[in-house]
Amino acid sequence: MIDLKVRIGKTIFKNPVWAASGTFGNGEEFTDFLKITEIGAVVTKTVTRSPRRGNPVPRVVETPSGLLNSIGLENKGVEWFKKEQMPFLKELGVGTIVSIAGETPEEFVECAGKLTGKNRPDAIEINLSCPNVFHKGARRRLFAQDPKITEKITKAVKKKIKCPVITKLTPNVTDIGEIARAAENGGADAISLVNTYFGMAVDAEEMRPVLGNVTGGVSGPAIKPMALAAVWSAYNEVSIPIIGIGGIMTGLDAAEFILAGASAIQVGTANFIDPGRCAGVLKELKEYLNRKKIKRIRDLVGKLKV
């Protein structure tokens, strides 16, 4: 029996394979394809204080081994989420991490404040890194490009709620270590990285951008090497757990991220191609651990031989 448990703050998750925000809804769409309670956690689609309509279509387009998207955080707001989406997850009993965002630091705090009480999540992921929304008052385009504001929002959310806080970072920075430290200084219980890379697709025949929003974020296998390097850099800077994300399609991909320093991983784009993939990744990761005779998942974290 392999010990797969992962501890983030005071919360223990049953295993390190989680579904990434924005790729899994609240899980309901996936019940035909896997037993959701098998996976470590569902990170739900980002919610904001008020409903958002999202960006104009086209919102998604394929790029070589990748997916370029600009959904624009379309959601019906945190109140709706709590009433309509949260009960499903709570009843199921799966690890539930709610992703939140806002246009200002105050909106993050307000949104987090709504997620207390009976149906509270097991952790909150603060999305400081969506490339497709405008962050008001940020010195840079994204909150997670600015260490000061990353620390400030993390601290403010942390103060507002009791459950663990995971700060989700963008890879679109010159020094990921600096931002990772800022989140740690803000009191984050963990950091998750990477969100998508800025990207665009051009239709030369029509002389137009393909996406309605012109630019978007790239995910999928195309970004895996960069994401691995970002996780490795962050691992060498902070002592809080890291959640690795970026083009994970298989259990071996998951093992690579864990070796590079991730304590848990999130499967994202792969859910769009094979809605049962999270369960597949978990199974393949267990096979890998068996083959390597590793008894506890935490013994693999950061064990890259360099």
Partner 1 sequence: MKAAKKITKGTILRNREIAPGIFTMDIKSRWMGKKSRAGQFVNIKAADDTTDPLLRIPLGIHKIRGEEISLLYKVVGAGTKLLSLRSPGGSLDMLGPLGKGFDVSPVIRRKKAVAVLIAGGHGIAPLFALAEELTNKMRKVEFFIGACTREEITCVEELKKIGAGVRVSTDDGSRGERGRVTEMVMEYLSGDGKDAEHGTIYACGPMPMIRAVQDVSKATGIPAQVTRDEYMACGIGACRGCAVETTEGVKLACTDGPVFNAAILKWDKETVEK
Q: Which is nearer to partner 1, 62 or 175 (CB)?
A: 62
Residue 205 beta carbon to partner 1: minimum distance, rounded to whole angstroms:
12
- Which residue type does 10 have? K
Instruction: Find the shortest distance in angstroms from Cβ 194 to partner 1.
Output: 18
**87 contributes a contact to partner 1 by CB under 8 A:** no
Nearer to partner 1, 2 or 92 (CB): 92
Rounded to a whole number of angstroms, the minimum distance from the CB of residue 56 to partner 1 is: 4
CA–CA distance, 70 with 191 (Å, rounded to integer): 23
Among 16, 22, 121, 186, binds partner 1 (CB under 8 A): 22
Tell me which stretch binds partner 1 (CB under 8 A): 22-30, 80-88, 184-192, 298-306: 22-30
Is residue 29 part of the contact set for partner 1 (CB under 8 A)?
A: yes
Is residue 266 a contact residue for partner 1 (CB under 8 A)?
Answer: no
The nearest distance, CB 216 to partner 1, in angstroms, is: 10
Restricted to residues 183-222, the positions that interact with partner 1 (CB under 8 A) are 212, 220-222
Binding residue count for partner 1, defined by CB under 8 A? 37
Contact track, partner 1, 37-76, x by CB under 8 A = --------x-------xx-xxxxxxx-xxxx-x-x--x--
Interface with partner 1 (CB under 8 A), residue from 177, 187, 276, 302: 276
Q: What is the DSSP string of the chain?
A: --B--EEETTEEES-SEEEPTTSSTTSGGGTTTS-GGGSSEEEPPPB-SS-B--PPSP-EEEETTEEEE-----B--HHHIIIIIHHHHHHHT--EEEEE--SSHHHHHHHHHTS-STT--SEEEEE---TTS--TT-SSSSGGG-HHHHHHHHHHHHHH-SS-EEEE--S-SS-HHHHHHHHHHTT-SEEEE--PEEEE-EETTTTEESSTTSEEEEESGGGHHHHHHHHHHHHTT--S-EEEESS--SHHHHHHHHHTT-SEEEE-THHHH-TTHHHHHHHHHHHHHHHTT--BGGGTTT----
For position 176 contacting partner 1 by CB under 8 A, the verdict is no
Residue 130 annotated as catalytic: yes
Residues acting as catalytic residues? 130
Interface ranges with partner 1 (CB under 8 A):
22-25, 29-30, 32-33, 45, 53-54, 56-62, 64-67, 69, 71, 74, 212, 220-222, 249, 269, 271-276
